[in-house]
Structure 1
Amino acid sequence: MLKVSNLSVNYGSTRVVENLDLALADDEVLMLVGPTGCGKTTILQALAGLIPISGGEIQLGAWQSTPGRRVPPEKRNVGMVFQDFALFPHLTVEQNVCFRLTDTSLADHWLKLLGLDDFRHAKPGRLSGGQKQRVALARTLAHEPAFILLDEPLSNLDAALKDSLRWEIRYALKAAGVPAIWVTHDQEEALSVGDRVGILNRGRLEQLDTPEMCFAEPASRFVARFLGEASFLPGRLEGDQVSTALGPAPGIPVDGANGDVDLLLRPDDLSLTPLEAGNGAIDWVRYEGCSRLYAVDIDGGAKLKVRVSHEVRAEPGERVHMAITTTHPLAAFPREG
């Protein structure tokens, strides 16, 4: 089990990672997300031993790294997968995967499992982006690392390829039974692929939980806004019900919320019906193909986002009726201001 305790990293006098605590199960995939500059890549570099840590400790099996007892990268048995693939252009796929291996049986296994058997003798220049990333992953897994760090491995690929390759990578990691920390800017990727998700903000871990809990019960407004579109509707929480301008809704308190609250609403928690005698007016609309995303100014001041079928059409300024349709408890935050 990889265990990180109270980890801090400084760049000069600036602290970029502060008091990070986490532990990974033997085959767990942890996704790390957060805005640019929040410390995601710094954490990977610290875990790999590429930069010194300023506080805390990193432990895996027989080794333990602290500020006073640094374990070099080559002693950590860590595998890394980068966004730029980092392949040797003059070597074939097979030579890249087998680089510095004496026993190539595992290389053969991963080449076949990742669909690369037909490309053994090809040079990286002949491969697509997705094939290159599979080669990089096969090379990492063939060396039997104790844990794997993935730094935005899909960021250089097109959207359609990302969707399929993310699952291939997850399947391979699970098949290897090796813990992995995967850094991404893609919230959808994080929520769909990870066993758990960690949301970073200015070097601190705001929440570490299952994707479902992070999305449905965010620990802070920052997490709520970062993981998908978020709107807040004023209401009053009494027991497990919140009364709002759109009617009652089931609620669950966050951070001790009670009485006057702001109810977190996702676009799929609402319905929209064009109606002259409605309770709001369209501010803007975005066509998304199979759906449309509307921003609606509710009578009383709140602005809510709602996603509906592309067949529902309304123009800016048009009156509509909004309703809360979800039946699961919604996160209720203490009222701001």
Structure 2
Amino acid sequence: MSAPSTAREASLRTVAPGQRVTVRVPATSANLGPGYDSLGLALSLYDTVSIETADDDELAFALTGEGAETLPHDASHLVVRTVDAALGRLGYRRSGLRLTAHNVSPHGRGLGSSASATVAAVLAAVELVDTADRPDLQWVLQLCSEIEGHPDNVAPAIFGSLALSWQDGDEFRTAVARVRPDIVPIVAVPDYELSTELARSLLPSSVPHHAAAANSGRAALLVHALTQDPSLLLPATEDYLHQSYRESAMEPSALLIRSLRAEGHAAVVSGAGPTVLALAAGAAEADEVQAAVERITHGDPAASPEGRGSTVWRVLRLAVDSEGAKVEVHSR
């Protein structure tokens, strides 16, 4: 059983040593309420990954930021595994590798941290092979989506802005819509994690036809609200497919969403959660959202008697990233 694999490995070309590639990838928020597994937004929160090839067989790591103390320092690291997978797909292999990464996006919070790592690794691998063998960004989207299982986070991480993604057979595709510049994303990141696997396990195998119909209308409206008329953001972010089923796994987040929406703000679960994303129409509403989050999460009895709790929240006022991942190749 090992002979074909050995023959395959022997046929691979080794990438040249001494190359260094740095990739900066934005965080992403997927679903955005009704856009389940199809809509994703790039956010101005960036992870940075540098890959340097060496002529030995050693792996070296310099990891800082989110998750630095718990991430593996061996070949099981997601970036290393993905670089190897991408190189193999392109007919190459590596010798030694030096990985330097600074993670800003929180892990396990619904802000696309694994998608960011996947995109960074694939884009870096593309730059490590000979120019004639480098594929286009559609190839990058395809491989990243296969690794992640769906394109809703990887597409905005690659292309920026608002990504509308779908699947035709085995092929993943995306289209990019430009978000109005006055849209202000605000994320409230709790101090607890929620795995995507657990969040997906809570979903029913089917939903009523009327719920699916209502959801498709809101998803279509959301694209219009983000690109043309932000006054419609509150009704456009109403979801009928996934958020209510997941509330039991993220009760503090569900409470915050309900409270913000009751005050007229377009709040949703970011990705699989538990981060809460609010889409504000302009700076004035962004100020209101931040004040409301502070009041609700600190349990002001006059505002929300239920709001008291032990959850600690980090509130970040961001922007929509319009460029997507940026690659820098360092001269040898």
Is the shorter-chain TM-score for this pair beyond 0.5, marking a shared fold?
no
Q: Larger % of helix: which?
A: 2
Q: Larger % of strand: which?
A: 1
TM-score, normalised by the number of residues in structure 2: 0.32
Rg comparison, structure with higher value = 1
TM-score, normalised by the number of residues in structure 1: 0.31
Question: Which of 1 and 2 has higher RCO (CA within 8 Å, sep 6+)?
Answer: 2
